[in-house]
Structure 1
Amino acid sequence: MLPCLNKQLFGIDCLGCGIQRAFINVIKGNFIAAFNLYPAIYTLLIMAIFLLLNFKYQFKNSKKIIITFATINVLIIVVSYFIKMKFIFNL
């Protein structure tokens, strides 16, 4: 797997740390472990599937749906990152 450059240089997880391991766990069927590693994995996968389908079928209001998916994903990623950092630094 690809190493996290941010973690190697600064010793702190980045917002994407865990996504590779989470994706591998989804493929293996370890759904709870995947969620524990990276809570946004499922919303990101749903968004990716929607984007792929949208290339073929051009859904109506797809821009609004993509913006909604992106907003939800960013919120989940940022909130879970701060929760993880809180536990790491015991704030």
Structure 2
Amino acid sequence: MLPLGIKDYMIPCFSKQILGLDCPGCGLQRSVVFLFQGDFIAAFHMYPAVYTIIPLLGLLLADVFFKIPYINKIVVVLMMLSVGLILGNYILKFI
């Protein structure tokens, strides 16, 4: 369960409000909240790509301060995995 008041600060999905359909990003905020709560399985069920997006953002931020070898290849792989998970999850929502 989400902590009290956290729903008040979440950005609403305009696609869902206007069209009634989930967008490919629906669930990301709730997934991050589940991660902070330590509920890793619920986070994966909510938005599987969170496990590739967070390391991707962390690596990109770390590369600003430290030069990481082969960062381009790592970033490309993480981006492809993220896109694959996002699209796969989005398609499964409609099945």
* TM-score, normalisation: structure 1: 0.89
Identical-pair percentage: 37
1:37 and 2:46 matched: yes
The answer to which structure has the higher helix fraction is: 1
What is the SS of the residue equivalent to 1:3? coil
Structure 2: segments with no counterpart, 5+ residues = 1-9
TM-score (norm 2): 0.85
How many Å separate the matches in 2 of 1:44 and 1:85? 23
2: CA distance, partners of 1:84 / 1:74: 15
2:12 corresponds to 1:3: yes
**Moved >2 Å (runs of 4+):** none
Structure 2 counterpart of 1:50, one-letter code = L
Given candidates 23, 29, 35, the residue that maps to 2:32 is: 23
Cα distance, 1:61 vs structure 2:
2.2
Partner of 1:89: none
State the Cα RMSD in Å: 0.9
1:45-64 deviation line (CA, Å, top 9, x unaligned): 11111111111112122122
**Total equivalences in the alignment:** 86
Asked if 1:66 is matched to 2:75, the reply is: yes
